[in-house]
Structure 1
Amino acid sequence: MIDVEPHYMTLSYRLAYHGLPDHREAPETYPLSWEIDISAEIFPDDDGDGEQHSLGSAEAEIVPDAGMIDLFDTLDAVDADLASFGEVFGTMRPDLLEEAGMTEFGGDLLILTSLEIKPDYRGQELGHHVLRAILATIGRNVDLVALRAAPLLDDDGPEEGTPEHETAKAALRSYWESFGFMPVLKADSGDYLVYFTRE
Structure 2
Amino acid sequence: MATVDPDYMRLTYSCEYRGIPSLDHDPSDFPMNWSVSIDGLVWDEGEEDNDGREVHIGNAWFSIVPDAGMIDLFWTLDAVNQELANVAEMLTTERPDLMPNSGMDLGGDLLVLSSLRIEPQFRGNKLGHAILKAILGTAGRAVSLVVLQAAPLFSDEGPIEGSPEHTAAKAALRRYWADFGFQDASGDYLALGEMADAFDV
Same fold (TM over 0.5): yes
Residue in 1 that maps onto 2:65: 63
Find the partner of 1:191 among 188, 191, 201.
188
Aligned with 1:194: secondary structure?
strand
2:159 partner SS: coil
Question: Aligned residue for 1:11?
Answer: 11
Q: Which residue identity lines up with residue 77 of structure 1 in the other structure?
A: A
Q: Which amino acid aligns with 1:196?
A: G
Partner Cα separation in structure 1 for residue 15 and residue 166 of structure 2: 32
Cα deviation for residue 60 of structure 1 reads: 0.9
Distance 1:108 1:6 in 2: 26
Kept after mapping to 2: 8 A contact 1:34/1:60: yes
Q: Which residue of 2 aligns with 1:84?
A: 86
Q: Distance in 1 between the 2:58 and 2:21 partners?
A: 28
**More deviation, 61-70/157-166:** 157-166
- Residue 48 of structure 1, CA deviation: 2.5
CA distance in 2, matches of 1:79, 1:168: 26
- Matched pairs, number: 194
Shift of 1:21: 3.1
- Mapped partners of 2:194, 2:10: distance in 1: 22
Extract structure 1 runs of 4+ deviating beyond 4 A: 22-25
Q: Is the 8 A contact 1:21 1:31 kept in 2?
A: no
Partner amino acid, structure 2, of 1:138: A
CA 1:165 to 1:26, structure 2 compared with 1: closer, same or farther past 3 Å? same
Shift of 1:2: 3.0
Q: Over aligned residue pairs, what C-alpha RMSD do you find?
A: 1.4
* CA apart distance, 1:49: 2.7
Contact 1:183/1:194 (CA < 8 Å) preserved in 2? yes
Cα shift readout 1:134-159 (whole Å, capped 9, x = no counterpart)? 00000000011110001111112112
Higher deviation after alignment, 39-48 or 4-13? 39-48
| Structure 2 unaligned blocks of 5 or more | 197-201
Following the alignment from structure 1 to structure 2, what is the Cα–Cα distance between the partners of residues 25 and 42? 43
Q: Percent sequence identity over matched residues?
A: 51
- Residue pairs, 1:1-199, within 5 angstroms: 2-21=2-21, 24-44=24-44, 45-103=47-105, 105-185=106-186, 190-197=187-194
Deviations 1:17-48 (Å, cap 9, x if unpaired)? Answer: 22123565521111000000011111221233
| Matched position secondary structure for 2:7 | helix
Q: Which has the higher strand share?
A: 2
How far the C-alpha of 1:73 sits from its partner, in A, is 1.1
In structure 1, how many angstroms separate the alpha carbons of the residues matched to 2:33 and 2:22? 14
Amino acid at match of 1:89: L
Q: 2:5 and 2:107 mapped to 1: Cα distance? A: 36
Supply the distance in 2 between the matched residues of 1:112 and 1:18 (Cα, whole angstroms).
20
What residue identity is the alignment partner of 1:133? A
Distance 1:29 1:20 in 2: 10
